[in-house]
Chains A and B, each alone.
Chain A
Amino acid sequence: MSDLARSQNQETFVLNLGPQHPATHGVLRVKLTMDGEYIAEAEPVLGYVHRMHEKMGENRTWAQFMPNTARLDYLGALSYNHGYVKIVEQAMGIEVPERAEYLRVITVELNRIASHLLWFGAFVLDLGGFTPLLYAFDDREHILDLLESVTGARLTFCYFRFGGLYNDIDDDFITGSRAFIKRLRKRMPEYHDLVTKNVILITRLKDIGILPAEMCRKYGATGPVLRGSGVNYDVRKNEPYSVYPELDFDVPVYSECDSMARYMVRMDEMEQSMRIIEQALDKLPAGPIMPEKVPRMLKPEPGDYYSAVEAPRGTFGVRVVSDGTNKAYRLKLRSPTFSNLSLFGEASQGMLLADALALMGSLDLVIPEIDR
């Protein structure tokens, strides 16, 4: 479309999907060159929320960096906690007790459901349906109350410690989680009836925002974006960690590559997370949550370490270069949303503005995580 327009010497104008916009979910600026209602070019401009987390990683001790991990992607904070403690444990050779591993998986999956619920509400809000947001937030309240009773926080969790967890759960948490899973299983068909099967939504999402698998690979997209394009890659299955190998769950993969596929991947992931939580609660062993002896002053061997976890938005990778002191020499955080957003420039060419925003919503962006 844009080539045709250019060949007819039509005027294009620049529209700023500015840093302040209801649909960009954070402080993201996209410079759109528009030709009428069609996008000729899109250029995301980042950096409005850059808070220098990686630099802080060089100036803080290993333990002092923990709260920063929660502030990266505040919606999936526990996965980021997990990614960070995992690499330090790997570098230091710390063994994590089994109960702690199971509890980590349970809380991370609860966090994943909370993140996907919020994504669901915000996505449909972008498309103009104001009500599912409130229903999703109602469900999310239950998760946040559960997590608050364990960790003390509702959003920016600082719960994991090197070797285990900050504190243990009680029986109320177990009964609460099971009750929540029962409640959400009853609500999911309602969401599907109200939103997924709605003809207006289907017209808006089907065959919109096609991201072929080659394009995803080229830009390094991971997570539901990649799985919605037919590539079966999930860090929990392909590079297993923690106790995921002992739990039985499926990885939803849809091959239509459109926004509807990404939507369905996330809805199915919520169901799979519920399965994981149920199994983990059944298999939860008794025992300590911290190992016997954790060194006070953490000084990993000098070297280069990398590890990744499956965050709600994709593969969260941490690369640590240690020089033997109690602070990292270089801490690199591989943000999944950064790679997902870089698709947007190429994918949105020739799209209608409304469709491009539906595409952006389906990429599930959290800007503070992009800018770190």
Chain B
Amino acid sequence: MSGYFKELFGGTKSLVVGLGITFKHMVKPVVTLQYPHESLKMSARFRGHIELLGDDETGAAKCIVCGMCQRACPSGCITLDGEKPEGAKKKVLTSYTLDFTRCSLCGQCVESCKFGAITFSKDYNLAGPRKEAYIFDLKKRLEERSG
């Protein structure tokens, strides 16, 4: 008999305590960020899709077309091409395409580049209607950025 009442009162007490906790949270301020109106600053190491880095003086891509990134990528996202102009010592990049539909942001490409030619961007607002919008022409984007 005493077990019956102990269960009853213990149970009711646990219910009241639970209500108290939710009430306490109800009167506290919200913890959410109102996304379209406010946005977060991305952390420095955030991994967006990769971008080419340009030389500080000339603005041309630092990439020397060694192809390490292409070989390191597990998903075959990167295609690059270059040519050796007359009389120059190093190859010059002619095209660099990233197929972002397959990229898993693993970072093998960035790690494998010994010349600091590619880095992660901070782009996260990528929504588009067509798959083709995600085949990035990184060389063109570099040229647009350097103006």
Contacts and interface: CB of A to CB of B under 8 A. Distances in A.
A193 B18 contact: yes
Contacts, number: 70
Contacts of A71: 104
B106 A66 contact: yes
Interface string A240-276: 0000000000000000000000000000000000000
Interface size class of B (residues with CB under 8 A): 20 to 34
Given A65-B74, A156-B104, A193-B21, 5 more contacts: A152-B47, A152-B105, A198-B15, A199-B12, A199-B15
Contacts of B105: 67, 152-153, 156, 158
Interface stretch (B38-46, B57-65, B133-141): B38-46
Nearest to A199: B11
Interface residues of A, number: 30
A152 B107 contact: yes
Contacts of A161: 111
Interface string A129-153: 0010001001000000100111111
Interface of B: 7, 10-12, 14-15, 17-18, 21-22, 25, 31, 43-47, 72-74, 104-108, 111, 120
17 contacts: A60-B74, A63-B108, A64-B72, A64-B73, A64-B108, A71-B104, A148-B43, A148-B45, A148-B46, A152-B45, A152-B107, A152-B120, A166-B107, A194-B17, A198-B14, A198-B15, A199-B14
A190 B24 CA distance: 11
A197 interface: yes
A174 to B, nearest CB: 16
A67 B10 CA distance: 50
Nearest to A296: B112
A151 B120 CA distance: 12
Contacts of A200: 15
A63 B73 CA distance: 9
A325 interface: no
A135 B45 contact: no
